[in-house]
A and B are shown apart, each in its own frame.
Chain A
Amino acid sequence: MSDVTTTAAAERALDTAERALRLARVRAADAEVEVTVRQGTEALTRFATSFIHQNVASEVNHVLIRVALDGRNASTSVDGPADDDSLGRAIDNVIEAARIRPPDPDWPGLAPRASAPAVDHFDEATAAASPDERAARVGAFVDAAGGLETAGFCSSTTVQLAFANSAGQRLTGRGTAAEVDGIARTASADGSGRRTSVRLADLDGAVLGERAATKARAASDPTDLEPGTYEVVLEPNCVANILSFLLVHGFNGKAVEEGRSFARVGAEQFDQSISLRDDVTDSGTLGIPFDIEGTPKQPLDVVRGGVTRGLLHTRRTGRMAGSGSTGHAVEGGAAWGALGANLVLAGGDKTAEELISGVERGVLVTDFWYTRILDPRTQVVTGLTRNGVWLIEDGRVVRPVTNLRFTQSFVEALGPGAVRGISTNRELALAGWNSVYLVPSLHLAKWNFTGGARG
Chain B
Amino acid sequence: MEDIAAQAVEAALAAGATYADARVMEIRTEAMSARNGVIEALDREERAGVGVRALIGSSWGFFSVPDDGSAAARRAGEQAAAVARASTLVPGVDLALAPEKAVTGHWSSDVREDPWAVGLAEKGDLLEGVTRAMREHGADLAEASHRIWDTRKWFVSSEGTRVDQHIVECGAAMSATAIGENETQRRSYPGIRGQYGTRGWELIRELDLPGNAPRIAAEARELLTADVCPSLDASDLILGSEQMALQIHESVGHATELDRILGWEAAFAGTSWLELPKLGSLRFGSELMNITADATLPGALGSFGYDDEGTPAHPVDIVRDGIWVGALSGRDSAALAGLERSGGAVRSEGFDRIPMVRMTNVGLLPGSDSLASMIEATDDGIFMDTNRSWSIDDKRLNFQFGCEIGWEIKGGKRGRLLKNPTYTAISPKFWGALDMLGGPDEWTFWGTPNCGKGQPQQIGHTGHPAVPARFRGIRVGVRG
Contact = CB atoms under 8 A, between A and B. Distances in A.
Interface string A377-415: 110111110100000000000000001011111000000
A455 B455 contact: no
Interface stretch (A9-17, A54-62, A118-126): A54-62
A136 B46 contact: no
B393 A75 contact: no
A290 interface: no
A135 B397 CA distance: 33
A454 B400 contact: no
Contact of A453 (B47, B86, B89, B393): B393
Given A55-B59, A94-B44, A370 B393 contact: yes
Interface stretch (B176-184, B200-208, B313-321): B176-184
A322 interface: no
Interface in B22-76: 31-33, 35, 38-49, 58-69
Interface string B88-99: 011111000000
A74 B42 contact: yes
Contacts of A195: none
A56 B83 contact: yes
B263 A407 contact: no
Given A49-B264, A79-B49, A153-B455, A374 B90 contact: no
A360 interface: no
A335 B456 CA distance: 24
A318 interface: no
Interface in A70-121: 73-81, 86, 89-90, 93-94, 96-98, 100-102, 104-106
Given A55-B87, A151-B263, A335-B35, A386 B65 contact: no
A31 to B, nearest CB: 15
B398 A335 contact: no
Contacts of A381: 480
Contacts of A134: 86
Nearest to A51: B92
Interface stretch (A40-48, A236-244, A341-349): A40-48
B120 A101 contact: yes
Q: Which of A57, A90, A97, A139 has the most CB of B within 10 A?
A: A57
B265 interface: yes
Given A102-B128, A135-B86, A152-B267, A51 B58 contact: yes
Interface in A408-455: 408-409, 448, 450-455
Contacts of A81: 48, 66-69
A55 B66 contact: no
B60 A53 contact: yes
B436 interface: no
A75 B41 contact: yes
B267 A49 contact: no
Interface stretch (B106-114, B236-244, B374-382, B423-431): B423-431
B52 to A, nearest CB: 11
Contacts of B69: 81
A34 interface: no
A407 B62 contact: no
Contacts of B425: 455
**Most chain B CB atoms below 10 A, which of A55, A73, A182:** A55
B257 interface: no
A375 to B, nearest CB: 6
Contacts of A371: 391
Contacts of A258: 140-141, 177, 179
Given A55-B59, A149-B263, A260-B184, A97 B480 contact: no
Contact of B400 (A42, A79, A373, A382): A382
B86 A382 contact: no
A56 B31 CA distance: 29
A131 B391 contact: no
Given A51-B92, A76-B46, A374-B422, A451 B266 contact: no
Nearest to B84: A55
Contacts of A56: 61-64, 83, 353-354, 456
A58 B42 contact: no
A50 interface: yes
Nearest to B395: A453
B368 interface: no
B298 interface: no
A181 interface: yes
A185 interface: yes
B62 A77 contact: no
B358 interface: no
Interface in B312-369: 352-354, 356
B368 to A, nearest CB: 30
A78 B87 contact: no
A131 B67 contact: no
Given A51-B59, A382-B389, A453 B456 contact: no
Given A45-B86, A75-B42, A405 B92 contact: no
Given A51-B87, A134-B86, 20 more contacts: A46-B455, A52-B90, A53-B58, A53-B264, A55-B60, A55-B83, A57-B62, A57-B63, A57-B83, A58-B63, A81-B66, A135-B89, A138-B89, A258-B140, A260-B179, A370-B392, A374-B422, A405-B393, A405-B400, A451-B424
The 10 A-B pairs at the shortest CB distance, nearest first, are namely A51-B92, A131-B86, A334-B41, A455-B426, A80-B48, A407-B480, A151-B267, A52-B87, A79-B47, A56-B62
18 contacts: A48-B264, A51-B58, A55-B61, A55-B87, A61-B66, A75-B44, A78-B45, A97-B120, A101-B32, A104-B39, A132-B89, A138-B90, A181-B267, A334-B33, A334-B40, A374-B402, A374-B480, A451-B424
Interface of A: 1, 42, 44-62, 73-81, 86, 89-90, 93-94, 96-98, 100-102, 104-106, 130-132, 134-136, 138-139, 142, 149, 151-153, 155, 181-183, 185, 190, 258-260, 332, 334-335, 369-378, 380-384, 386, 403, 405-409, 448, 450-455
